[in-house]
Amino acid sequence: MKITKIDLHIIEMKLKTPFVTSLGKVTNRRGIIVEIHDETRATGLGEAVAFSTPWYTEETVETCFHIIKDVLAPLVLNRSFEHPEELFDRMKTVRKNPMAKASIDMAVWDLYAKLLGQPLHKLIGGTRENVLAGVVIGAHSIREMLQQIERARQDGYNRVKIKIGPGKDEKWIRVIQESYPDMDILADANSSYTQNEELLLKLDDLGLQMIEQPLSQDDLVDHAALQKKMKTPICLDESITSLHAAKSAILLNSCKMINIKIGRVGGLTEAIRIHNLCQEHGIQVWCGGMLEFGVSRAHNVALATLPGFSIPGDISSSSRYWEEDITSTDIIVKDGTIFPFKGVGIGVELNRERLKQVRIHHEIIYK
């Protein structure tokens, strides 16, 4: 594969319902769709999943745009690659910026699978016939949360993750448990209990399936101390930025589960490596979400066909967040599962009409 051209499409769409977390609220979602072309005019699609502001991790849409255009594109344009795994090493000279790197890595994986005429999930060794879906609720009030859970139940989801924080936790969880005693519940704290650990211990008897990222991103040691005190499994999200971080977390016993996000770890190559490492160490994994558009969503579905993804992830229908997505085919959840696409690559193409409606900037990069 020789990469000859990269299209960057910055798009913006309004979420059907604002997404509220301990760190901020997302109402309008911006993102970058990356379209990579090779010398045979084949294309591959990726997505930079950073937000407009650095509330979740350090990157933003603008930093990704700059890094892709001015730093990563010159490293990959007019270069030949035998295999998408080579992209990871090629981009290694650039520190961090995983979401920018992942958007290129994803697009090259899609391109490669298309050139081989295979679905991406088959190419990476996916074995699951259906992917386990789950919904995330980030609401302002208990009432709003219950309304959203009710809607999710009607749409066939059996597992709910709620966003919690100090003062928005025990009561919220108990109310859900009373209303839906048979439902799996997990709680995502997005680091909001840093230096407030005693509040977390109060949640330990609620029988949560897991608690996600209770403490800060860099606190692997504190998470290990906390996991010793809690029977509820800790799942790490923000802390796991690479294979190396995953190794450290496992060595330190900082968690029992890991939420894998392709963007957060710098691409599909690294995501697969983390999955394999966790398999070796008996650490459960599931696929995280980024309120993303159809391109990243389709990559998530492919990733989540790997054998280790044995519990539902934050993968929901395109229609959960969007009136109309930018891809040709929607991701659809039925009875809590998603069937991977049968087409080559990630199995979806861009809906050019829709893309034009929501695009706020377009740039074409050649060497």
Ligand X SMILES: O=C(O)CCC(=O)c1ccccc1C(=O)O
Q: Give catalytic residue positions.
A: 163, 261
CB count within 10 Å of CB 93 equals 8
Which one of Mg ion, ligand X, none interacts with residue 291, CB within 5 to 8 A by kind?
ligand X
- The binding track of 137-176 with respect to ligand X, each residue x by CB under 6 A or -, is ----------------------------------------
Nearer to ligand X, 84 or 312 (CB): 312
Q: What's the closest the beta carbon of residue 203 comes to ligand X, in angstroms?
A: 17
Q: Is 188 annotated as a binding residue?
A: yes
Q: Is 237 annotated as a binding residue?
A: yes
68 binds ligand X (CB under 6 A): no
- The binding track of 91-130 with respect to ligand X, each residue x by CB under 6 A or -, is ----------------------------------------
- The binding track of 214-253 with respect to Mg ion, each residue x by CB under 5 A or -, is -----------------------x----------------
136 binds ligand X (CB under 6 A): yes
Nearer to Mg ion, 37 or 161 (CB): 161
Nearer to ligand X, 219 or 314 (CB): 314
Q: What's the closest the beta carbon of residue 115 comes to Mg ion, in angstroms?
A: 34
CB count within 10 Å of CB 218 equals 14
Q: Which of 208, 291, 303, 346 binds ligand X (CB under 6 A)?
A: 291
**What is the maximum span of the chain, computed from C-alpha positions, in angstroms?**
60
188 binds Mg ion (CB under 5 A): yes
Q: Is 205 annotated as a binding residue?
A: no
Q: What's the closest the beta carbon of residue 188 comes to ligand X, in angstroms?
A: 5
Which one of Mg ion, ligand X, none interacts with residue 290, CB within 5 to 8 A by kind?
ligand X
Torsion sign over Cα 208, 214, 218, 222:
negative
Number of residues that bind ligand X (CB under 6 A): 11
CB count within 10 Å of CB 272 equals 21
Whole-angstrom distance, CA of residue 121 vs CA of residue 346: 8
Q: Which of 165, 267, 289, 308 binds ligand X (CB under 6 A)?
A: 289
Backbone angles phi, psi at 75, to 5 degrees: -75, -25
Whole-angstrom distance, CA of residue 199 vs CA of residue 165: 10
Which one of ligand X, Mg ion, none interacts with residue 105, CB within 5 to 8 A by kind?
none
316 binds ligand X (CB under 6 A): yes
Judge residue 109's burial from the number of C-beta atoms within 10 Å of its C-beta, 0-12 exposed, 13-18 middle, 19 or more buried: buried
Q: Which of 35, 38, 110, 314 binds ligand X (CB under 6 A)?
A: 314
Look-up: residue for tokens 């949360």? 145
- CA distances (Å), origin 204, targets 163, 197, 224, 283: 16, 11, 15, 20
Q: Which stretch binds ligand X (CB under 6 A): 101-109, 121-129, 289-297, 353-361?
A: 289-297
Which residues, numbered 252-311, are part of the site for Mg ion (CB under 5 A)? Answer: none
Whole-angstrom distance, CA of residue 326 vs CA of residue 32: 12
Q: What's the closest the beta carbon of residue 190 comes to ligand X, in angstroms?
A: 5
Two structure tokens written together for 49 = 């999943």
Q: What's the closest the beta carbon of residue 163 comes to ligand X, in angstroms?
A: 7
Which one of Mg ion, ligand X, none interacts with residue 316, CB within 5 to 8 A by kind?
ligand X
**Residue ranges binding ligand X (CB under 6 A):** 56, 136, 188, 190, 237, 288-291, 314, 316
Task: Please report, in range form, the residues annotated as the binding site.
Answer: 188, 212, 237
